[in-house]
Chains A and B, each alone.
Chain A
Amino acid sequence: MTVSRWGLLGVAVLALLSVLFAALWWLSPTHDASTVVAAFWHGSLGTTSAFFSGTLVRAIPLALLGAGLCVAFRAGVFNIGGEGQLMIGAVAATFVGLGHSLGPLHVVIALVAGAAGGAAWAAIAAELRRRFGVLEVISTIMLNFIAASLVAYLVRGPLQEPTGVYPQTELVEVPARLVRLLPDFRLHAGIFIAVIVCAAAWWFLRETAAGFRVRAVGASPSAAAIIGRVDVPRVTFGALVASGALAGLAGGVEVTGVTYALYENISPGYGFSAIAVAILAGLRPAFVPLSALLFATLETGALGMQRDAGIPSVVASALEAVVILATLVIGAGFLRRTALPASTAP
């Protein structure tokens, strides 16, 4: 970003914060701004418990999803199906996790299953796009709703826990769980996975021919096809499936590391938050961890505000949308979408 853009960003941030303050003051039942701020701080970064059990843990799936979206968006594929892909990944991982013990690698297999599940779910949209030219924006959103219904059905039906009281599954076997890193907190080994994935995505886009193809296709599909002799449909298909795999992995990580079970609303909108994460990171996987941390802070802070100051946490998603718009206006040029080809012939 150029210097003037930093300046613009600074002004925008200040303006945003002021509006925010006003809004929060109006929203809170007690109309007490200081309580609101304290609640936000307390909930996100203020205590070790908030940070290591809340914010950091929340940043993990956001980073995984965000890295995947960097790849997809760079290829010009607009994958808004992160929610659904995460859920299906969670389903797959739960399934594996509930089964007979598969030895010391049980958790690994569960995570692989999660990634496979997410990939398969995204592949549906990818195939619809490739074969019939269906806009992935619409198909992935439809698949989100379908996945939600599927999960609802599973946790009230076939996979419901034995007592039949709660709409969730049993807890997964211990060998299928990600190890906790610190004794009193919920931080788990998934954080290493997230960091490694972001690094891998960075390396992929920057250093590999395949990653360059992704970038070329997103920047100009026709030049990529004519000059680069790139198989554009194959690249976009792969990018969509890859981002689905990472979303599914995120679902698997949530199940094996945090919840140990499947239930409805296992994703509090991670799929959409990840869009904001990726965009703020400028579609650069290297910045995704930081961006993910930022939005995780926003979300846990919002939860804190809900707990202590009576402001509904769903305000976070409105804020995330504002961040997307602001980033777009100030940093336009990051993004290009691949237009669908006129024909569906390969």
Chain B
Amino acid sequence: MSDFAPLLEAAVRTAAPLLLAAIGESVSERAGVLNIGLEGCIIAGAYAAFVAGGTIPLAGYGAAVAAGAAVGLLLVAFSVWRRLDQIIVGTALTMLALGITGTLFRARGDIAAAIGSTEPAVVIPLLSSLPLVGRALFAQPVTTYLAFALAPAVWWWLHRTHAGLALRAVGDSHEAATAAGIRVGLVQAGAVVFGSALGGLAGGTLVLAQAGSFAESMSAGRGFIAIAIVALGRWRMTGVALASLAFGTAMALQYVVQALGWRVRYELVLMIPYLATLAALGVFGRGTAPAMLGRRRETS
């Protein structure tokens, strides 16, 4: 039982980047754009944070957001503006980002911020003393709090502002949106940039709040898991938050397997998040995606 609390804490901490990326992807997908390049956004953000972080973590996070958004802008250029297939372009972008970050990391290892230590946890007094969940929920790095605050904020924005309404309409029918005077391309561009910026931030979190350094391909499929999380959460914030937590747990297992005293081979434990994704997608199915998800832009 005493092992449970550290697992929960690790789970929530591991879930944070997933949640950030998934929230971003939800917004993008509700506008009808499927961003397979999300993995690329994450690794780009991770590398940017590695390069720019250090004494001023904020600079690192800022760079991470910018890097992610840059990848997103490429998706906007090729798929929204030029209307090329979203999935193929997204795959190419992920390959591009992985290749470039890997190359830069290896070739110019001299470019690295001195990341002293990872983000300390911001411990909320009193609440963090709660049994079991105290440390898990209230002794997390800032980005975790940000992630969990973003979910209801995005929900509010989608349902209580005209801009959010317009975005949902774009994901539903390009014709309806255009007839209402909404610029479909612009809305999709904004949604993608927002989503990929969050993806970059997620990558920054990986480096600055978890690992403390960079490693090639350290995103390890989180981008794709985030996409699965969006589908499993039925494109709604509550579902996405819950699914993120579930997968965070699955990913955290590899860190605590020793502590839990399991006698399983390490390589097999590594499989768990990916097996879980497959199983969850199979069991819980796809649900109703936004009608225009993945479809070419038909109007302006």
Contact = CB atoms under 8 A, between A and B. Distances in A.
Interface string B279-296: 001110110000000100
B103 A146 contact: no
B270 A312 contact: no
Nearest to B216: A314
A152 B96 CA distance: 26
For chain A, the bracket of interface size reads 35 or more
Contact of A149 (B88, B89, B227, B268): B268
Secondary structure type dominating chain B contacts: helix
Interface stretch (A39-47, A96-104, A239-247, A332-340): A332-340
Contact of B224 (A27, A138, A335, A337): A138
Interface string A128-169: 100111110111011101100110110011000000000000
Contacts of A29: 107
Contacts, number: 143
B257 interface: no
Interface in A308-330: 310-312, 314-322, 324-325, 328-329
B92 A310 contact: no
A51 interface: no
Nearest to A125: B278
A237 interface: no
A275 interface: yes
Given A138-B227, A325-B92, A311 B278 contact: no
Given A153-B265, A156-B267, A316-B99, A132 B89 contact: no
Contacts of B132: none
A200 B82 CA distance: 35
Nearest to A142: B274
A1 B74 CA distance: 25
A315 B102 CA distance: 8
Contacts of B281: 128, 132, 134, 138-139
Interface string B246-282: 0000000000000000000101101100110110011
A165 B95 CA distance: 33
A287 interface: no
A70 B85 CA distance: 16
A340 B267 CA distance: 33
Contacts of A337: 85, 87-88, 294
A272 interface: yes
Interface of B: 36, 74, 78, 82, 84-85, 87-89, 91-93, 95-96, 98-100, 102-104, 106-108, 216, 220-221, 224, 227-228, 231, 265, 267-268, 270-271, 274-275, 277-278, 281-283, 285-286, 294
11 contacts: A28-B107, A78-B88, A128-B278, A138-B281, A142-B221, A153-B268, A314-B103, A325-B92, A335-B88, A337-B85, A339-B294
